[in-house]
Amino acid sequence: MRPFDRILMGHGAGGRLTRSLVKDLFLPLFSNPALEVLSDAAVLPAWPGGRPALTTDAFVVEPLEFPGGDLGRLAVCGTVNDLSVSGARPLWLTLALVLEEGAEMNLVRRCAESAAEAAREAGVQIVAGDTKVVPKGRGDRIYAVTAGLGSVPAGRDWGDHRVAAGDALLVTGPVGDHGATIMACRHGMAGEALRSDVAPLNGLVEALAASGAPVRALHDPTRGGVLVTCHEVAERAGVRIVLDEEALPVRGEVRAVCDLLGLHPLSSPCEGRALVFVEGGCEESALSALRSHPFGAGAARIGRVEAVRTGASPVAVRTVSGEERPLDLLSGAELPRIC
């Protein structure tokens, strides 16, 4: 069968073209015993123990390729990270692609290769998948939908129900890189120093867990960035969170893009950072563990958790001058399609 340089409607029709797409492109990249049988469902090895954790996500980023990553890497890392910050060890993923008729075959291949590479980096397997093709003009070349299954080890109980006044808030590295990179690409502002932080965090999270630091909760600040994540934690935990403006790690390139586009770095999404709530007084041991891992080298203490005060904003920042300024939620329309 002759190769095609573009996606045709026949690639999603279930016939020879579909079989060729799966067997010639996806199977060699994602090869593993559960996938290779090409059955209706992946039959997995025996459960390793602990409590199961399950997540799903959809990825519609624009542009599909950007400095530091692409749709494939983003889909795998985003799913791995959702499991990891919940305390789970990611094990298996599914990956479904919705392809638009006419999409470049080389683009599909590059995104699939990136997904396979990210899965190897994270030590997970893509054990099931699907492809559908929609007519030209009914999509935007490639959309990805994932599901992820992991196991929470016995005795690990992380979550916002454990966050309390007196806790410290840490971040594993500079914030806002992914969102600023995507927005810069769209406005023709991309530079060599501006790259997405997209990365799988499961190794970093396990290094933190192994240190014995008293972790309360973890989050990956994706859509809405640090700002929205802090508001969600404050609401769920019934606390207020005060950030230290001077301690917030924001790269100069990210700040410059945000200034030009009227964005706040704290609302700019991350795809390779985690917010860590840890028992107050124990932040140094947690920071030491985070900084021992390549993805946590820039870890910093950025705030504290306080009891709710009547009339005070649930999320605020302590400025360099010592004043406290409220940080309100944004409308939600500032950063569309960044993941």
pLDDT in tens, 129-156: 999 999 999 999 999 999 999 999 999 9
Give the model's pLDDT for residue 103.
Answer: 97
Over residues 86-106, the mean pLDDT reads 98
Q: Check: CB of residue 108 under 8 Å from CB of residue 20.
A: no
Residue 121 has pLDDT above 90, yes or no: yes
pLDDT at position 333 over 60: no
pLDDT at 161 over 80: yes
Residue 222: what pLDDT?
A: 95
Instruction: Note the pLDDT of residue 48.
Output: 94
Q: Report how far residue 278's alpha carbon sits from residue 213's, in angstroms, rounded to the nearest whole number.
A: 7
Percent of the chain with pLDDT over 70: 97
Asked if pLDDT for residue 318 goes beyond 60, the answer is yes
Average pLDDT of the chain, as a whole number: 95
Look at residue 255 in the predicted model and tell me its pLDDT. 95
Q: What is the average pLDDT across 184-190?
A: 88
What pLDDT, in 10s, does the model give residues 220-231? 999 999 999 999
The pLDDT, as a whole number, for residue 339 is 84
* pLDDT tens by residue, 71-90: 999 999 999 999 999 999 99
Percentage above 90 pLDDT, the chain: 92
Looking at the predicted structure, is the pLDDT value of residue 192 above 90?
Answer: no
CB-based contacts of 285, cutoff 8 Å, min separation 6: 211, 212, 213
**CA 82 to CA 77: how far, in whole Å?**
9
Question: pLDDT tier at 331 (50, 70, 90 boundaries)?
Answer: low
Q: How far apart are CA 319 and CA 324, in angstroms?
A: 6
Q: Summarize the confidence of residues 330-336 as an average pLDDT.
A: 63
Question: Rounded mean pLDDT of 254-276?
Answer: 94
pLDDT in tens, 11-27: 999 999 999 999 999 99
Q: Give the per-residue SS3 of the chain.
A: CCCCCECCHHHHCCCHHHHHHHHHHHHHHHCCHHHHCCCCCCCCCCCCCCEEEEEEEEECCCCCEECCEEHHHHHHHHHHHHHHCCCCEEEEEEEEEEEECCCEHHHHHHHHHHHHHHHHHHCCEEEEEEEEEECCCCCCCEEEEEEEEEEECCCCCCCHHHCCCCCEEEECCCCCHHHHHHHHHHCCCCCCCCCCCCCCCHHHHHHHHHCCCCEEEEECCCCCHHHHHHHHHHHHHCCEEEEEHHHCCCCHHHHHHHHHHCCCHHHCCCCCCCEEEECCCCHHHHHHHHHCCHHHCCCEEEEEEECCCCCCCCEEEECCCCCEEECCCCCCCCCCCCC
Whether 216 and 167 have beta carbons less than 8 Å apart is answered as yes
pLDDT digits (tens, 9 = 90+) for 24-53: 999 999 999 999 999 999 999 999 999 999
Mean pLDDT, to the nearest integer, of 83-107?
98
What's the token pair of residue 15? 């016939």
Query: Is 100 a residue whose pLDDT tops 90?
Result: yes
pLDDT at 338: 80
Query: What's the whole-model pTM score?
Result: 0.96
